[in-house]
Structure 1
């Protein structure tokens, strides 16, 4: 019985060591983060991905966003992670009110929900294999760059984090 609980205890102990909180020091009431404005056109992200029991990996993201029919915002992304082939994904977002968005993500396992609070955009969605993701994006005062902290959990345990700096082209 004790031997069976050791892997779970080790996983919980290691998860406690991983950075898994939003970046509250970056949160402010202004500027207001409008993702459809920030991601309109081209942007690039440079990130470091930390997956439990793996060495950190560099990740680069190239994005291009645009409106379709004035109501649907599309964000096409090409993701290049060190040691993996490039992959494409697409976000489809609709504004539901002044602070909220709903939509889809091509590699999510359900709907995407997003909420704006000052310069912070919080995005939540489920992923395949029982994973859940939450992203905290903080718009810089210049409006041209943002910091992104993504936290991926399984059974409430943080299994991966991504820290990304995004800049508009």
Structure 2
């Protein structure tokens, strides 16, 4: 508890920054099309009081009826046993999607605006997740910036490059 009190005193509330990833402004990200098939992500997880750890995410997406997607991911993180998680995403309106994630408590909301997508959900322990995806000019690469906050204070973030595999 003392560490949290020190952290809260040192950081302003709403410490989660609004990162604006570079993107191909002439394109529109279609998350269903991009994540259908195989993708691979490589990046780093930065946790407060723990430093950075390399991570790799191998994903396999398959379309569902109604234009949705089921995405199964195997996450390998330095110093931990691999784990699997599953996303389900379905369109609910133009540029808006809803779904679930095995790690989420409640629904996942995804909004697309041009080459970027914003994803929001909550995890156990009162952790709020905000994720930004940005399509790159090659059309086969997406940058991912994910932030995790507790009580408005950023406690972790991920920087990842995701590539669509043949």
Q: 1:14 to 1:60 in 2, by over 3 A?
A: farther
Structure 1 position 53 matched with structure 2 position 42? no
Q: Deviations over 1:35-80 (max 9, x none)?
A: 0011110000001001000021001000011112244310010000
Query: Match for residue 20 of structure 2?
Result: 24
Q: For the structure 1 residues 32 and 13, does the alpha-carbon distance in structure 2 shift closer, same or farther, using more than 3 Å as the test?
A: farther
What SS is found at the alignment partner of 2:51? coil
Q: Deviations over 1:66-110 (max 9, x none)?
A: 112244310010000001100000000110112000000011111
CA distance in 2, matches of 1:25, 1:55: 22
**Secondary structure at the counterpart of residue 110 of structure 1:** coil
**Residue 166 (structure 1) aligns with:** 162
Q: CA 1:25–1:123 in 2, change beyond 3 Å: closer, same or farther?
A: closer
Describe the SS at the equivalent of 1:136: strand
Partner of 1:151: 147
Equivalent runs, 1:67-146 vs 2, <5 Å: 67-146=63-142
Cα 1:25/1:136, change in 2 over 3 Å: closer
Q: Please say if residues 95 and 113 of structure 2, whose CA atoms lie closer than 8 Å, have aligned partners that are also in contact.
A: yes
Aligned mates of 1:48, 1:25 — CA distance in 2: 16
Point out the more displaced range, 148-157 or 71-80. 71-80
Equivalent pairs counted in the alignment come to 163
Deviation (angstroms), 1:132: 0.6
Q: Structure 1 residues 15, 86: CA separation in 2 closer, same or farther (over 3 Å shift)?
A: farther
Distance 1:27 1:13 in 2: 35
Asked whether the equivalents of residues 20 and 161 of structure 1 are also in contact (C-alpha less than 8 Å), the reply is no
Unaligned runs of 5+ in 2: none
Shift of 1:9: 5.4
Larger radius of gyration: 1
The two structures, once aligned, show a CA RMSD in angstroms of 2.0
